[in-house]
Amino acid sequence: MNKSLEKAQSAAALRQTYVARGVATAHPVVATRAAGAYLWDESGRKFLDFVGGIGVLNVGHNHPAVVAAVQQQLESFSHVCFQVVSYEPYLRLAARLSELVAPGQGYKSVFLTTGAEAVENAIKIARGYTNRPGVIAFRGGFHGRTLLGMSLTGMSAPYKQNFGPFAPDVYHAPYPNAYHGISSDDALKALETIFSTQIQPDRVAAIILEPVQGDGGFLAAPAEFMRALRELTTKHGIVLICDEIQTGFGRTGTMFGFQHSGIQPDLVTVAKSLAGGLPISGVVGRAEIVDAPTPGGLGGTYGGNPLACAAANAVLDIFEQEDLLERSVEIGEQLRVGLEELKSSHPEMGEIRQTGAMVAVEFVSDAQAKTPDSALTQRVLDTAREEGLLIIKCGVERNVVRFLSPLTVSDQDVADALGMFGRALAVARTAA
C-alpha cells in the first residue's frame, strides 16, 4: 500500500476512534505543513487555503516575522501567567490595541485565550459597570460555544442542539438583511418592541453585535443602522459591544469593522487573526467601563500568553509594514469582480457580499423566492477541494460560501482561486 495513503487511513481511523464526534471538520484533509496561502496534506498535495483557520491567518501561514517573534520570546519564557507577574509583550500589546481601537482615548484591555472568553468577559464587564442583567444580541450572530456564548448566538443548529437551558436575560433581535427583506428600520423597530414587551431599556446592560456577521452569512450592518444603534445605546446608558473577532485586523478593509460606520463602541472583542495563529483574545474598551470589575474579577491562566502576545505584536508590525489594509480592499474587489462575472451565468448565486476581503456567495435554488440551497453549497465545497481550493460555508441555513484568504495573497492566487471556484460550481450544479 502507498505509504501516504496508509498514513491518511491511519489518521482517519484515529479520528474515528479517539476524537469526539461533535468536533466537525469541513474537509477530509490531514495537513502536514503550510506557508503563506498554501497548505499541503500527507500525500504532498497542495491546496490554496481560502479558509485560513476560519479567519485566523490574515497574515498567512507561518509569516516569517511571526515565527521569529515567537522563537525569540520562547528563548526567554513561554509562560508565567500575567496574574502572577507582568511582562512587556502584554503591556505593549494593550497600549497598541488601545490606540488602534480609539486613538488618544485611553481605552484599556484585558487579554484572554479564546473568542468565547472575550465575549463572556465583555458581558461581565458590561454587567459590572451598569449593574443591569439584560443583554440583547442578534439573530444570525455567532458568539461562541460556551454557555453564555451559545445563549447569545442567534442560531439553533448546530450550536444549541439539546444543550439547554441557556443563560437567562438574553434577548434576540432581527439583524438587517436587505436581500431577505429586513431593513435597518425593521431591525430598530424590533429593538423598541423588545424594550416595550420583554425588558425595559434601563435593565439592559449591553447590546452586542458583529459589524459584519461572520458565521451568520457575511452580512454587513448598514452604516445608518450602526449609527442609530450607537444613539440608542447612548440614550439608555447601554454598553455597545462590537464583536470584532472575525471582522478584526483588516478583514473588512479597515482595521475593525465598526470603523466603516464612523461610530465608537464602548467595548470591542478581538481574537482570531490578532496573533497569526496563536491563541489569544481580548476585550478593549473605555477605561471607566473596563475598570468596573475589581481585582480578581478578570483574567485566566493562559490569558495573554507571552508567546501569543509576541506574535500579536509582530502581526501589528506586519500590518504597518506591508500595507495590508489597502491590500484587503484590493483582494476583495478582485474577488467581487470575478464572482460577479460568474453570477451572470449562474443564477443559483443569489447574492455576492463583499466588505473588504470579507467575501461570500449565498446559494439559492430559486432566484425569485431566494430559497436556500444548502445541498448545492456543500457540493461546491467538495468539488472546490478536488480542484485544490479550500473554502467553507456559513449562514443560518448553511447555504453561503465564504472566502477568507490571507491578506498577503497574490493577485495570481486570487485569480487561481476564482478559476477553481468557477470549475467547481460548473460541476456541482450538474451533480444534483
C-alpha cell at 41: 496534506
76 in Cβ contact with 245 (< 8 Å): no
User: So what's the pLDDT on residue 95?
Assistant: 98
C-alpha cell at 163: 444543550
Domain-ending residue, one of 272, 304, 322: 322
State whether 25 and 129 are in the same domain: no
Per-residue pLDDT tens over the stretch 386-415: 999 999 999 999 999 999 999 999 999 999
Single-letter amino acid, residue 277: G
Helix, strand, coil percent content, the chain, rounded in steps of 5: 45, 20, 40
State whether 267 and 397 are in the same domain: no
Measured from the Cβ of residue 237, the count of other Cβ atoms closer than 10 Å reads 13
Per-residue pLDDT tens over the stretch 308-333: 999 999 999 999 999 999 999 999 99
- The domain that holds 422 is classified in CATH as 3.90.1150.10
C-alpha cell at 257: 469593522
Q: Judging by DSSP bridges, how do beta strands 46-49 and 389-390 pair with one another?
A: parallel
**Domains in the chain: how many in total?**
2
* Nearest residue to 221 via CA among 250, 262, 165, 272: 262
Per-residue pLDDT tens over the stretch 241-286: 999 999 999 999 999 999 999 999 999 999 999 999 999 999 999 9
State whether 154 and 53 are in the same domain: no
- The domain that holds 217 is classified in CATH as 3.40.640.10
Beta strands in 276-348 (DSSP E): 281-285
User: So what's the pLDDT on residue 107?
Assistant: 98
Q: Judging by DSSP bridges, how do beta strands 371-372 and 358-366 pair with one another?
A: antiparallel
Mean pLDDT of the chain: 96
131: left (phi over 0), alpha (psi -120 to 50) or beta: left
State whether 308 and 328 are in the same domain: no
**Domain presence at residue 225:** yes
**Domain presence at residue 96:** yes
Please tell me the pTM assigned to this model: 0.96
Domain-ending residue, one of 271, 299, 322: 322
Question: Mean of the pLDDT values across residues 83-101?
Answer: 98
Q: Using DSSP, state whether 121 is helix, strand or coil.
A: helix
Judge whether residue 147 has pLDDT over 90.
Answer: yes
Per-residue pLDDT tens over the stretch 19-44: 999 999 999 999 999 999 999 999 99
Judge whether residue 207 has pLDDT over 60.
Answer: yes
Q: What Å distances lie between residue 409 and 69, 296, 321, 405, 432, CA to CA?
A: 21, 42, 15, 7, 33
State whether 336 and 204 are in the same domain: no
Return all residues near 116 (Cβ < 8 A) that are at least 6 apart.
143, 144, 145, 146, 149
C-alpha cell at 72: 525569540
State whether 309 and 331 are in the same domain: no
Q: Identify the domain containing residue 93 by its residue range.
A: 77-322
State whether 295 and 327 are in the same domain: no
Rg of the chain's alpha carbons, rounded to an integer? 21
Question: How many Cα atoms are found within 13 Å in the side-chain-facing hemisphere of 127?
Answer: 14
Domain-ending residue, one of 302, 322, 342: 322
State whether 27 and 161 are in the same domain: no
Rounded to the nearest 10°, the torsion over CA 92, 97, 99, 100 is 140
Q: What Å distances lie between residue 212 and 191, 216, 234, 259, 284, CA to CA?
A: 18, 9, 21, 11, 18
- Lookup result for grid cell 478559476: 419
Q: Using DSSP, state whether 414 is helix, strand or coil.
A: helix
